[in-house]
């Protein structure tokens, strides 16, 4: 691709920009490309960034690295450290390509405990450059990515344990969702005394949080008596006549005493939208509303049945609890009691 064609496509955006990024000529304007790449690096989609931006000429890579110096994100730290640790005889462009390939391995779509994920993490842990980059990200970022932390857990060396400590300290001090993140490292952790001690303390803190969770106070109103643990995910829909191809209202309710964010409600409406319009519905947790096109506002957990009933009445539909589904640790009559509570409003 010629310089003029590439730069025109980059300014155009869309699929043309993506194609141009994969076929950049060596004399392309570094400032133009670096601005686009740095914008992409600031997005949450690491996989998309790494896939689109691997093939960059060396002047562009140098300009991008200069731009990343001001960022403290774990992606930026990982990329900068990977480049710094490159082999002396490696070209900058090829090192950039390898580094973004490692990002693709970190942000892969394989299940957390799958063999494919384990193999990718083991490969990264066995590479001095990428292991060092993960250690730098864990030590230097307030919230490093979970796959980077998993690489350190796989390695299990004293250096990796030391690098994990800032993340561990933040998690144990906050006792929030960071603890849940670190608990997931158990799946990949190397069996060493230091790693066992860290995971044991995380387990104890999670157990104490679960035992004192406000979610357990719901057991009384639901009719469950005293419980040591309460969790369920219920999903149900609006009742429609036989001619309807889809249900208009779809609800998901989460209660989980094992989690810091233990209560969440999501109501989605299946309607046609104009481009750019937000989806219709409401989504909220305790103390935080993510979306509310109904204007109805959130509710306290114990008020949920009444709130669901009022929403249905105001919108002119009925919930079909006969077809409701649920995932839960409860069984038999206790499971039925949850569904009975939801429809009691």
> Tens of pLDDT along 264-298?
999 998 865 444 456 789 999 988 999 998 999 99
- What is the C-alpha to C-alpha distance for residues 199 and 234, in angstroms, rounded to an integer? 31
Q: What percent of the chain has pLDDT over 90?
A: 49
The mean predicted confidence, pLDDT, of the chain is 88
Q: What percent of the chain has pLDDT over 70?
A: 95
Cα 38 from chain centre: 21
Task: Please tell me the predicted confidence (pLDDT) of residue 243.
Answer: 62
Query: Does the pLDDT of residue 47 top 90, yes or no?
Result: no
Nearest to 326 by CA among 311, 303, 342: 342
Q: How confident is the model at residue 225 (pLDDT cuts 50, 70, 90)?
A: confident
- What is the C-alpha to C-alpha distance for residues 200 and 206, in angstroms, rounded to an integer? 10
- What is the C-alpha to C-alpha distance for residues 110 and 75, in angstroms, rounded to an integer? 20
Task: Please tell me the predicted confidence (pLDDT) of residue 263.
Answer: 93
Other CB atoms within a 10 A radius of the CB of residue 51 amount to 17
> What's the first-to-final CA gap in the chain, in angstroms?
65
Nearest to 238 by CA among 230, 252, 248: 248
Complete edge-to-edge strand list for the sheet that includes strand 231-238: 288-292, 281-285, 263-269, 249-256, 231-238, 319-328
Q: 147 and 141 in contact (C-beta within 8 Å)?
A: no
- Per the listing, tokens 């036989």 go with 242
- What is the C-alpha to C-alpha distance for residues 133 and 136, in angstroms, rounded to an integer? 5
Cα 129 from chain centre: 25
- For residue 90, what are its two tokens? 């490696």
Name the pTM for this structure.
0.67
Nearest to 60 by CA among 23, 95, 97, 93: 93
What does the pLDDT average to over 145-171?
A: 94
What does the pLDDT average to over 189-208?
A: 89
| Lowest mean pLDDT, pick from 27-36, 173-182, 197-206 | 173-182
Query: Does the pLDDT of residue 105 top 90, yes or no?
Result: yes
Q: How confident is the model at residue 245 (pLDDT cuts 50, 70, 90)?
A: low
Q: How confident is the model at residue 244 (pLDDT cuts 50, 70, 90)?
A: low
Classify 38 as helix, strand or coil: helix
Task: Please tell me the predicted confidence (pLDDT) of residue 44.
Answer: 64
- What is the C-alpha to C-alpha distance for residues 219 and 303, in angstroms, rounded to an integer? 13
Helix boundaries (H) for the chain: 3-12, 14-21, 30-41, 46-52, 58-68, 74-84, 92-106, 115-125, 128-140, 146-155, 158-174, 177-183, 193-211, 219-222, 304-315, 332-342
Q: How confident is the model at residue 184 (pLDDT cuts 50, 70, 90)?
A: very high
Task: Please tell me the predicted confidence (pLDDT) of residue 137.
Answer: 95
Residue 291: in which H helix or E strand, if any?
strand 288-292
Task: Please tell me the predicted confidence (pLDDT) of residue 174.
Answer: 72
Query: Does the pLDDT of residue 35 top 70, yes or no?
Result: yes
| Lowest mean pLDDT, pick from 79-83, 87-91, 164-168, 286-290 | 87-91
Residue of higher predicted confidence among 229 and 150 = 150
What does the pLDDT average to over 204-218?
A: 80
Give ∠ CA 310-311-313 in degrees, rounded to 5: 65
- What is the C-alpha to C-alpha distance for residues 22 and 25, in angstroms, rounded to an integer? 10
What does the pLDDT average to over 236-249?
A: 77
Query: Does the pLDDT of residue 258 top 70, yes or no?
Result: yes
The dihedral region occupied by 287, where left means phi > 0, alpha psi between -120 and 50, and beta the remainder, is left
């Amino acid at each position: 691709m010629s310089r003029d064609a590439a730069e025109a496509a980059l300014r155009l955006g869309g699929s043309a920009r993506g194609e141009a990024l994969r076929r950049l000529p060596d004399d392309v304007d570094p400032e133009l490309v670096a601005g686009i790449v740095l914008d992409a690096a600031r997005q949450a989609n690491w996989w998309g960034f790494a896939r689109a931006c691997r093939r960059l000429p060396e002047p562009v890579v140098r300009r991008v690295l200069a731009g990343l110096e001001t960022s403290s994100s774990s992606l930026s730290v990982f990329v900068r450290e990977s480049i710094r640790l490159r082999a002396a005889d490696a070209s900058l462009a090829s090192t950039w390509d390898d580094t973004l390939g490692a990002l693709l391995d970190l942000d892969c779509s394989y299940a957390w405990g799958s063999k494919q994920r384990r193999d990718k993490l083991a490969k990264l842990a066995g590479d001095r450059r990428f292991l060092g980059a993960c250690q730098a990200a864990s030590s230097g970022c307030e919230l490093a990515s979970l796959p980077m932390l998993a690489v350190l857990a796989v390695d299990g060396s004293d250096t990796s344990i030391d690098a994990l400590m800032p993340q561990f300290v933040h998690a144990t001090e906050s006792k929030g969702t960071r603890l849940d993140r670190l608990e997931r490292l158990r799946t990949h952790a190397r069996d060493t005394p230091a790693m066992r001690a860290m995971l044991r303390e995380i387990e104890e803190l999670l157990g104490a949080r679960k035992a004192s969770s406000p979610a357990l106070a719901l057991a009384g109103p639901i009719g469950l008596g005293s419980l040591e643990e309460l969790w369920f995910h219920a999903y149900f829909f609006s009742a429609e006549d036989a001619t309807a191809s889809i249900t208009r209202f779809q609800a998901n309710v989460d209660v989980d005493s094992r989690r810091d964010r233990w209560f969440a409600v999501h109501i989605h409406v299946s309607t046609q939208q104009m481009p750019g319009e937000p989806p219709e519905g409401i989504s909220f947790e305790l103390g935080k509303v993510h979306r509310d096109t109904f204007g109805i506002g959130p509710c306290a957990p114990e008020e949920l049945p009444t709130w669901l009933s009022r929403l249905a009445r105001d919108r002119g539909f009925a919930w079909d609890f006969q077809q409701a589904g649920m995932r839960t640790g409860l069984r038999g009559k206790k499971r039925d009691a949850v569904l009975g509570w939801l429809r009691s409003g």
